[in-house]
Structure 1
């Protein structure tokens, strides 16, 4: 009975030694700086109950994981907490609160493979290859030499050949005089048109805003928290799929011209839209 009590006490002490995790770290850092929840809410552009939810590790209240991570990073910067520790706690908390871990597949024992037949087959192949090489290297191919005498042409035949050569030369000169040489005509080469699907997007951050942008090929062009005063220039194949966590904090230029986010694409502070460039 005493052993069970000791084990229970050790378990309780182990749980208490874990210390604050995730949002709890942020709450302690906030209290150490003597800041209120309302002050944090104004800096993060959140309601007070959402700030308290972050401090209680109730991330479902925030919405999508991308928003929770963005607000945790900004909160850690505000209260000068260790951002890496806070994010490590977040991933640990969200991992343990999800579905149970999948069981690793059992490995089946490999059946013993007899190497005897394979070794015998390799030996046979080597023997056959060696025999073929020896036969090919020692085989002698008789050379056939053709000998013959060159019979000189009679004098009349030589004269006939010389006359034919002279006639051919005369014909060639006549052809050269009668056939005009045409000058080459320049053919215009059409200019290669530029890729009309290439699009340029410039983002200037007036405040912090989580941003996700992919091009038509699904390639990530930007996937990070944009901070105040930063300007990001992106290029890729149109259209762009864009998500802004706080659309009021961004100023856009599309292909060098100012671009306004349509009101229909806004849902509160968040904006999700497709920019085609047309």
Structure 2
């Protein structure tokens, strides 16, 4: 007598696993591109609107809505585009990222930015120390010290301050300035928090600082000419300037702090997020 099984050793019909039901549920789930397209239409947005909001090219947005991720340039970029577009059309990006990982062999392991872009970086030519410049600087420092000492010792007890970083260029003592009782000239303003706060109005100035880690950075001018391409280590910064436009690619936007035309950009970039950004002379409208 058998208990719990049919005489032939098979499971009863009502006790068989539910693999078929799981496959049916997965088949009914819309694709990633279809889900994004439906959310965009429901939000009343066009592909142009999504492209302007995310800075993802129109052709890439169209391709993703057709479930074609080849134009993204790899899983890391594809996941970044999915997260950015999902937020623009007001849906949760987490289920879409999980669905993408299931279809593409799981979430990619984090890859350091340096090896990923090693082939494209322009390595600076290694040079030895510039002994000529060091000798000239030393001679100038000695002459400046001697001149300052002679000038300071020849006065009648008056002391003259030399601005930090300047070198005296005259050998004769300056005429004493008569005291007229008028207040001194307007004091120099304190230095601002940003090195580019006094950015010229006729140009676009962008400063990139690696405040929370390191990130690969690429910057181009309005003609597409490469201004810089390399790894920005934590604590380092770069400043780029052009007459009309700066195009940036941030390999890890969460590690970067941006200052555009003297104003701090407060975008909530996530760690590991790839961002393509463009700034002009009028940016940002709200700093």
Structures share fold, TM-score greater than 0.5: no
Q: Which has the higher contact order (CA 8 A, sep 6+)?
A: 2
For normalisation by structure 1, the TM-score amounts to: 0.34
